[in-house]
Amino acid sequence: MAYEYHRSGSLEEALVLAAGDDSALIAGGTDLLVALRKRKRPAPRHMVSIRSLPELAEVSEQAGSLHIGAGVPMADVLANTVVREHLPALTAALAVIGSRQIRNVATLGGNLCNASPAADSAPPLLVYEATLELAGSSGRREIAISDFFLGPGRTVLRPGEIMTAIRVPLPGAGAQSAFLRRSRVAMDLATASLAAAYTARDGKLINLRLAAGAVAPTPLRLRRTEAFLEGKPVAEETLAEAAEIARSEVAPISDLRGSEWYRRELIGVFLSRALRPRSTRMKGSA
């Protein structure tokens, strides 16, 4: 596994170095290096580090949104006051990704670009309707996170293109969100996960967004379930019907982490828990 390591000094330099077919980008490296060691992907001739690029390393509030550099370690995102106060679903998700040592190195952008169907950061960012900022040799562009994933390990990133930031609209007053997941053991990939974001008004669900992970080839929004629940009161019979719709929207597989049936059941359970009033909702991971 021999390769030439390049430490880029600017985004422009990184884009030039990453332009070749035999190059790979590395920030935290917690996914890439494991994949190379297990021979799950061919070794590149050039490894291009983007970890120290200032443009990718900042977290700031901009015009009602939180701008998170794609190279910011997850531990730093998790420690951010704005994240903890306004984005509880993302906070809960980041807190269960790997160990503290991994979160000190792994980046939010890297977790998304790895495009695992079980990426814990994806469902919260889907319900917060995040926008991803990308840069390439042909210029810059933005894309909704709901359009980013194509399949396991596959995204819309073009060859040599770099994710520079994740922009998350900050929820308004009264907004609520939650993240629930199940795994076999601590620090394992999720068997299934679900994020929810909504506003409760007069006992009804308003502007509801739901997203699931580890139950389809990509993290996905549960749009039929959202449409069914929008404007409805939170009642047990309504949640039970919504859970059936949610189970029909996902397309899980059976593997060593859980069966197809079990994953569908988890999504239904998570949905009911996430939308119950705060006084009865389970906190953290399920």
pLDDT for res 29: 63
pLDDT at residue number 37 = 65
pLDDT digits (tens, 9 = 90+) for 27-82: 766 665 655 665 666 666 767 778 778 899 999 999 999 999 999 999 999 999 99
| Coil/strand/helix, residue 236 | helix
Structure tokens at 22: 């035999």
Tell me, what amino acid is at 86? H
CATH 3.30.465.10 intervals, the chain: 54-169
pLDDT at 280: 37
For residue 283, what pLDDT is reported? Answer: 39
Q: Which of 59-68, 94-103, 138-147, 189-198 has the lowest mean pLDDT?
A: 94-103
| CA–CA dist 248, 230 (Å, integer) | 18
46 Cβ contact list (under 8 Å, min separation 6): 3, 4, 6, 17, 20, 22, 23, 24
Residues of the chain with CATH 3.30.390.50: 175-275
Q: What is the mean pLDDT of residues 180-192?
A: 91
* pLDDT for 116 beyond 80: yes
Residues of the chain with CATH 3.30.43.10: 4-49
What architecture is domain 175-275? 2-Layer Sandwich (3.30)
CATH architecture type of domain 4-49 = 2-Layer Sandwich (3.30)
- CATH code linked to domain 54-169: 3.30.465.10
> What is the pTM for the complete model shown?
0.90
Q: Please report, in angstroms and rounded to a whole number, the separation of the first and last CA atoms in the chain.
A: 39
